[in-house]
C-alpha cells in the first residue's frame, strides 16, 4: 500500500514565511511532509525591518534570514522568482508564473502587503518610487545619482526610513504627511512635536497637515509636487510610503472570504473560509478584525499554523502586542500598550525636554496600573516598561520618566520584572526562558530572542549573569578607562610602574601580556610620554607600531604618508611616484584621500621615509590606533554648492589631531555642504558645513558594523567646532575600553548622546578645561615619529630583516606581477615578523 505524503505549499517567502518554515522544521513536520515554497522576489527571505541598513553598508546577503543549507537540510523546495498566479481550490492546486502546477493538501498564504500609492495624477512618472523591497532600494539608489531633491509621501515608520535613505544619498529631502504630526499611529501630539524638532534639526524639511494633490511632470519626468494647501514643491524624485494594504488578490480570485477593507479573513487558528487554506502575516485579517502590520504578530500566526499542522493543542492567535521600538533617522522612537490613552479615566505622566528632543509619556489608570506609553529621543527604558504593561510598577510613574539625576532616585532594573514577563515580543520569550541561558549567543540560538527587531537585546544582556571580573586582562583588575585615570592622576610614565603599583598581585614584577602592553603603551602615548619606541615603550608596541608601518600578508610593509585633507601639490605627487617606482612598490589611492604604497621590506623603510621626509611628508599613522585621515570635498573654493571652505578646515583638523593615540583608530571628514560628498556621517567625528557655520557629528562608523553618526551640535564657528572636537576626543580617550571604536563607545555610554552632550557641550562634570588642556599639550608636543627615527642611528638599527645579517634582505618576501604592478607571492611561507636566522630576533 502506498503511503500518501502530504504536501504543504507556502505562497510567499518573506520574514513571516521563513518563520513558518522554521516552526515546521522545529516540530519535525518537514520530515513527514513535502514542503513547497513559491517566492515572488528574486531572492529568499530577508530582514525587511532592517531594510534601510542597506544604505549604511549592509549587502542583500547580510540581510538574508535563511541560514546556509537550511532548505536542503529540511528538504524544502524553494522556487525563487516564481510567484503564484492562480489557486484552484476544487482541484487543490496552485499554478506558478513559470507554468508549474503544484498540488497541495495544505495551502498557506503569506503574501504580505503592497505599498499604497495615492491615486494622484503623475504617480507613475519617471522618478516615482515605492519603498518596500531590496529591488526598490536599488532603483532609488541608482536614480539618486542624478537627482538633487527628493520628496517622501508619508511620515510614518517607512516614510521616515525612506527620508533618511534619501538624505544619506545626498539629496535635499522633504517629508509630506497628511496627518497633523509625524508617526500619527505610534506617537501622540507631544511625541510628534519632539520628533519633528529633532528631524528638522537634521536638515530635513517636514510638511504636515497637507497631502499630495499631483506629481508635476515634464516629458514624463518628475519636476515638482503640488500639495493640497496649494503650494508647489520642486523635486526630482518622489518616494511613496503612505502605508500598505494586504495582498489578498489571490484569495479574492479563488473565492476566499476577505474583509470589507481588505485582508484574508481567518479564525483563531489562522484558517480561512476554506479549511485547507491558512493565511498569516500582513495579508491576514485576524479573528479580532485587525490586519497586523508588524512582524511579531506575523511570527505568532506562523507558530499558530505550524502547531496546527503538527496537531499540537494551542490557544490560537487571539491578537498581538502592537508595541514597537525603532531608531528612525538616528532618533529612538517607541510606543507600547495604550499609547494614546483611550481607556476611560486614564491619566498621563509626561516628561518633555524640547532642548534635547526628549519626550516621555506614560498612561496609567486610577489604580496606578501602567497601560502604555510613548518614548521619543530616549527609549532606553522601553525594554523594561513594555513587560510591565498591565501591572502596577514597583516605583512611581514619575520616577519612570524622569532622567537620572532629576529626582529619580530609584533605578528600575530587569530584576523588577516578573518571570513571566515577555522580554522578546517578536518570539514571545519570557524572562524565565532567558534566565536559563548564560550568554547572548546562547539566548539567540535556543530561544530566538534578540533575532527579530532587536529592541530587547539590551534588556537580555542585563538579565544574563554578569562577568565577575571586568579587568583588562590577567595582569590588571582595572578597565582601560580606570587605568587611564590612574596613569594620568599619579603621573606615571612607565608600564613597569603601573604594573608594580596597580597590577594583580601575581602579575607584579612580571612583563605583562599581549593585551595590556599595547593598551598601556597607547595610554602613555595619549598622555604625551615622548617617542613611542624609546626605552621601555618600544617593548609595549605591537608589530605595526614596532616598525611604524603596517605589516602585510607576505611579511612586507606598507608606507602611508600623511596627505592632510587630501590636498597635495604636483611636486609631492611626483615624489610619491618616484619613491614607489624606485623601490618597486604597489600603489593605490585609498578612500581616505591619500596614496598607499605596498611591498616594502623592513630594511627598505628608512630609505623610503628619508626621501619622503625630505620632500615634506610625515607619517600618516596608518599603523597606529590614532587619527588616520580627515577626508574632505573641495568645498566652497571650487564647488558651486559649497558654503564653507571644507579643505581648509580638514587640513586644520588633521594637523591638529595627527599622532593622537586613542583606544582605536579615528577617522574624520569635512563636507562643504549638505550634499555630504565627504561622507562625514560615517566617521568617528564628521563635520558638515551650513550657511551659518558647521554641524558636528560623532560616533559614526563605516566599517564592519556601520553606524550613522549623531548630531552633537550645529551652526558652530571655527573656534567652537575645534573646541568641541578637542573635548569629545579627549573624553573618548579617557573613558573608552580597549579597542573600542567611538561608535560602540557612544552606544555603551550611560545616557548615550544626551550624556555626551551634557559633558562636552554643557560641561556638566566640570571636565572641559582639563580636556582642552590635555589636547593643547598634545598639539604642542607633537613630533613626527619617522622624522625622529631618521635622526637617530640607534633607532634605525631595528629596521633589519635579520639581526645577525643586517644587510641581507628577507628572501621569503617575494612578489609576482599583476596589472603592471606587483602582488604578494603567497606560495612563499613567511613568518611575518623580523627574524634571526635559526632563532627569534625578539
Residues 326-345 have pLDDT tens digits of 666 667 788 888 888 888 88
Q: Which three cell numbers stand for residue 472?
A: 583588562
**Mean residue pLDDT across the chain:** 86
Would you say the C-alpha torsion 756, 760, 762, 767 has a positive or negative sign?
positive
Q: Does residue 140 share a domain with residue 233?
A: yes
Crossing angle for the helix pair 495-502 and 516-526, nearest 10 degrees? 120
| 655-682 confidence digits (pLDDT tens) | 999 999 999 999 999 999 988 999 999 9
Examine the fold and report which residue of 190, 218, 242 is the final residue of a domain before the chain moves on.
242
With pLDDT > 70 as the criterion, what percentage of the chain qualifies?
A: 91
Q: Are strands 627-632 and 172-177 parallel, antiparallel or unpaired?
A: unpaired
Query: Where residue 688 falls among pLDDT bands split at 50, 70, 90?
Result: very high
Within a domain: residue 440? Answer: yes
- Is residue 663 in some structural domain? no
Quick check: 412 and 384 in contact, CB under 8 A? Answer: yes
Could you say which of 433, 466, 499 is where a domain stops? 466
- pLDDT for 468 equals 44
Q: What is the pLDDT of residues 260-277, one digit of tens each?
A: 989 999 999 999 999 999
Give CA–CA dist 834/842, Å, rounded: 8
Question: Which three three-digit cell numbers place residue 22?
Answer: 522554521
Specify the higher pLDDT residue, 832 or 815: 815
3-state secondary structure of 235: coil
Q: Which residue has the higher pLDDT, 797 or 467?
A: 797
Q: Is residue 651 part of a domain?
A: no
Residue 179 lies in a domain: yes
Model confidence pLDDT, tens digit, residues 706-763: 899 999 999 999 999 999 999 999 999 999 998 899 999 998 888 889 999 999 999 9
Same domain, 225 and 130: yes
Confirm whether 530 is domain-assigned: yes
Do 28 and 140 belong together in one domain? no
pLDDT category of residue 836 using cuts at 50, 70 and 90:
very low
Alpha-carbon gap, residue 820 to 35, rounded angstroms: 53
CB atoms near residue 423 (< 10 Å) = 28
pLDDT for residue 717: 95
Same domain for 199 and 127, yes or no, is yes
Contacts of 182 (CB under 8 A, 6+ apart): 155, 156, 160, 175, 192, 195, 196, 199, 206, 208
Statement to judge: residues 237 and 144 lie in one domain:
yes
Do 75 and 170 lie in one domain? The reply is: no
pLDDT band at 410 (very low <50, low <70, confident <90, very high): very low
Query: Is a pLDDT exceeding 90 seen at residue 8?
Result: yes
Collect all residues with Cβ–Cβ distance below 8 Å to 199 and sequence separation of at least 6: 160, 163, 175, 182, 206, 329, 331
pLDDT at 539: 66
Bridge partner residues of 79 (DSSP): 38
Let me know whether 403 and 501 are in one domain. Answer: no
Confidence of residue 828 (pLDDT cuts 50, 70, 90): very low
Is residue 340 located within the same domain as residue 437? Answer: no
Element (H, E) at 208: strand 205-208
Q: Is residue 584, in this structure, part of any structural domain at all? A: no
How many domains in the chain? Answer: 5
Whether 407 and 420 share a structural domain: no
User: Which CATH number belongs to the domain containing residue 439 in this structure?
Assistant: 1.10.10.1100
Q: Is residue 803, in this structure, part of any structural domain at all? A: no
* C-alpha 184 chain-centroid distance: 26
- Lowest mean pLDDT, pick from 221-230, 270-279, 329-338, 763-772: 329-338
Query: Around Cβ 782, how many Cβ atoms within 10 Å?
Result: 16
Express the helix, strand and coil content of the chain in percent, nearest 5 each: 30, 25, 45
Q: Do the strands 172-177 and 149-153 form a parallel or antiparallel pair, or are they unpaired? A: parallel
Give the pLDDT confidence of 370-399 residue by residue, as tens digits.
888 888 888 778 877 888 888 888 777 887
H or E segment and range at residue 198? helix 189-201
Identify the CATH number of the domain in which residue 198 sits: 3.50.50.60
- The pairing of beta strand 101-103 with beta strand 93-96: antiparallel
Instruction: Say if residue 110 is in the same domain as residue 138.
Output: no
- Structural domain that includes position 348: 321-412
Q: Are residues 128 and 230 in the same domain?
A: yes
Residue 655 domain flag: no
Q: What is the pLDDT of residue 405?
A: 44
Question: For residue 62, what is the enclosing H or E element?
Answer: helix 60-63
pLDDT exceeds 70 at position 109: yes
- Chain center to CA of 454: 12
- Count other Cβ atoms within 10 Å, centred on residue 104: 22
pLDDT for position 105: 96
**Same domain, residue pair 431 and 513:** no
Q: Is 840 exposed, middle or buried (CB count within 10 Å of its CB: 0-12, 13-18, 19+)? A: exposed
HEC readout, 515-542: CHHHHHHHHHHHCCCCCCCCCHHHHHCC
Summarised one tens digit per residue, pLDDT across range 571-587 is 999 999 999 999 999 89
For the cut 50, the answer to whether the pLDDT of residue 537 exceeds it is yes
Amino acid at each position: 500500500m502506498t503511503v500518501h505524503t502530504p504536501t504543504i505549499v507556502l505562497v510567499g517567502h518573506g520574514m513571516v514565511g521563513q518563520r513558518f518554515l522554521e516552526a515546521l522544521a522545529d516540530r519535525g513536520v518537514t520530515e513527514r511532509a513535502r514542503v513547497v515554497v513559491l517566492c515572488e522576489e528574486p531572492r529568499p527571505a530577508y530582514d525587511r525591518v532592517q531594510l534601510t541598513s542597506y544604505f549604511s553598508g549592509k549587502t542583500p546577503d547580510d540581510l538574508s534570514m535563511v541560514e546556509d543549507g537550511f532548505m536542503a537540510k529540511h528538504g524544502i523546495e524553494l522556487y525563487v522568482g516564481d510567484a503564484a498566479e492562480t489557486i484552484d481550490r476544487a482541484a487543490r492546486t496552485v499554478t506558478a508564473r513559470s507554468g508549474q502546477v503544484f498540488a497541495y493538501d495544505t495551502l498557506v498564504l503569506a503574501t504580505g502587503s503592497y505599498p499604497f500609492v495615492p491615486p494622484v495624477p503623475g504617480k507613475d512618472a519617471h522618478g516615482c518610487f515605492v519603498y518596500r523591497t531590496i529591488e526598490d532600494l536599488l532603483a532609488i539608489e541608482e536614480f539618486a545619482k542624478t537627482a538633487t531633491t527628493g520628496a517622501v509621501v508619508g511620515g510614518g515608520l517607512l516614510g521616515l526610513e525612506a527620508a533618511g535613505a534619501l538624505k544619506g544619498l545626498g539629496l535635499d529631502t522633504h517629508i509630506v504627511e497628511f496627518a497633523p504630526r509625524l508617526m500619527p499611529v505610534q506617537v501622540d501630539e507631544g511625541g510628534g512635536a519632539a520628533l519633528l524638532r529633532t528631524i528638522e534639526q537634521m536638515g530635513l524639511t517636514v510638511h504636515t497637515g497637507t497631502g499630495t494633490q499631483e506629481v508635476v511632470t515634464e516629458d514624463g519626468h518628475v519636476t515638482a509636487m503640488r500639495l493640497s494647501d496649494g503650494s508647489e514643491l520642486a523635486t526630482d524624485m518622489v518616494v511613496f510610503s503612505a502605508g500598505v494594504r494586504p495582498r489578498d488578490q489571490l484569495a479574492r480570485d479563488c473565492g476566499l472570504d476577505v474583509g470589507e477593507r481588505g485582508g484574508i479573513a481567518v479564525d483563531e487558528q489562522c484558517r480561512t473560509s476554506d479549511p485547507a487554506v491558512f493565511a498569516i502575516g500582513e495579508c491576514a485579517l485576524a479573528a479580532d478584525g485587525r490586519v497586523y502590520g508588524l512582524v511579531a504578530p506575523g511570527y505568532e500566526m506562523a507558530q499558530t499554523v505550524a502547531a496546527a499542522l503538527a496537531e499540537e493543542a494551542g490557544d490560537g492567535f487571539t491578537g498581538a502586542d502592537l508595541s514597537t521600538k525603532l531608531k528612525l533617522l538616528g532618533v529612538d522612537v517607541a510606543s507600547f500598550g495604550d499609547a494614546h490613552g483611550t481607556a476611560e479615566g486614564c491619566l498621563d505622566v509626561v516628561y518633555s525636554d524640547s532642548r534635547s528632543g526628549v519626550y516621555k509619556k506614560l498612561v496609567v489608570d486610577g489604580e496606578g496600573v501602567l497601560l502604555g506609553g510613548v518614548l521619543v529621543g530616549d527609549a532606553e527604558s522601553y525594554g523594561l516598561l513594555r513587560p510591565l504593561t498591565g501591572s502596577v510598577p514597583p516605583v512611581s510613574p514619575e520616577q519612570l520618566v524622569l532622567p537620572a539625576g532629576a529626582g529619580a532616585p530609584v533605578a528600575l532594573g530587569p530584576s523588577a520584572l516578573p518571570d513571566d514577563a515577555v522580554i522578546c515580543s517578536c518570539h514571545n520569550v519570557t524572562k524565565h526562558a532567558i534566565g536559563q541561558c548564560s550568554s547572548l549567543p546562547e539566548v539567540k540560538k535556543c530561544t530566538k530572542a534578540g533575532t527579530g527587531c532587536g529592541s530587547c537585546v539590551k534588556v537580555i544582556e542585563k538579565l544574563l549573569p554578569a562577568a565577575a571580573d571586568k579587568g583588562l586582562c590577567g595582569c590588571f583588575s582595572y578597565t582601560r578607562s580606570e587605568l587611564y585615570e590612574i596613569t594620568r592622576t599619579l603621573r606615571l610614565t612607565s608600564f613597569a610602574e603601573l604594573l608594580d603599583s596597580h597590577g594583580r598581585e601575581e602579575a607584579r614584577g612580571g612583563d605583562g601580556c599581549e593585551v595590556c602592553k599595547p593598551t598601556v603603551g597607547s595610554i602613555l602615548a595619549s598622555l604625551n610620554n615622548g617617542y613611542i619606541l624609546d626605552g621601555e615603550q618600544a617593548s609595549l608596541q605591537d608589530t605595526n607600531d614596532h616598525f611604524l608601518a603596517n605589516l602585510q600578508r607576505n611579511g612586507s610593509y606598507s608606507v602611508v604618508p600623511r596627505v592632510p585633507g587630501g590636498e597635495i601639490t604636483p611636486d609631492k605627487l611626483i615624489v610619491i611616484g618616484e619613491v614607489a617606482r624606485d623601490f618597486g612598490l604597489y600603489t593605490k589611492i585609498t578612500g581616505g584621500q591619500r596614496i598607499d604604497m605596498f611591498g616594502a621590506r623592513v630594511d627598505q623603510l628608512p630609505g623610503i621615509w628619508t626621501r619622503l621626509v625630505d620632500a615634506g611628508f610625515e607619517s600618516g599613522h596608518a599603523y597606529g590606533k590614532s587619527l588616520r585621515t580627515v577626508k574632505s570635498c573641495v568645498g566652497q573654493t571650487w564647488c558651486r554648492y559649497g558654503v564653507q571652505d571644507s579643505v581648509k578646515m580638514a587640513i586644520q583638523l588633521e594637523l591638529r589631531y595627527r599622532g593622537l593615540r586613542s583606544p582605536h583608530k579615528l577617522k574624520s571628514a569635512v563636507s562643504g555642504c549638505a550634499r555630504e560628498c565627504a561622507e562625514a556621517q560615517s566617521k568617528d567625528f564628521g563635520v558638515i558645513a551650513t550657511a551659518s557655520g558647521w554641524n558636528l557629528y560623532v560616533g559614526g562608523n563605516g566599517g564592519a558594523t556601520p553606524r550613522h553618526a549623531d548630531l552633537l551640535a550645529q551652526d558652530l564657528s571655527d573656534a567652537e567646532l575645534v573646541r568641541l572636537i578637542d573635548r569629545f576626543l579627549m573624553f573618548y580617550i579617557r573613558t573608552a575600553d580597549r579597542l573600542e571604536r567611538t561608535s560602540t563607545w557612544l552606544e555603551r555610554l550611560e545616557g548615550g548622546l544626551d550624556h555626551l552632550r551634557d559633558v562636552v557641550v554643557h560641561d556638566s562634570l566640570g571636565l572641559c578645561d582639563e580636556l582642552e588642556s590635555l589636547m593643547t599639550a598634545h598639539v604642542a608636543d607633537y613630533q613626527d615619529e619617522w622624522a625622529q627615527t631618521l635622526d637617530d642611528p640607534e633607532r634605525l638599527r631595528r629596521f633589519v630583516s635579520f639581526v645577525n645579517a643586517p644587510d641581507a634582505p628577507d628572501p621569503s618576501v617575494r612578489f609576482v606581477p599583476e596589472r603592471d604592478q606587483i602582488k604578494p607571492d603567497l606560495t612563499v611561507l613567511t613568518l611575518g615578523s623580523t627574524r634571526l636566522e635559526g632563532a627569534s630576533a625578539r
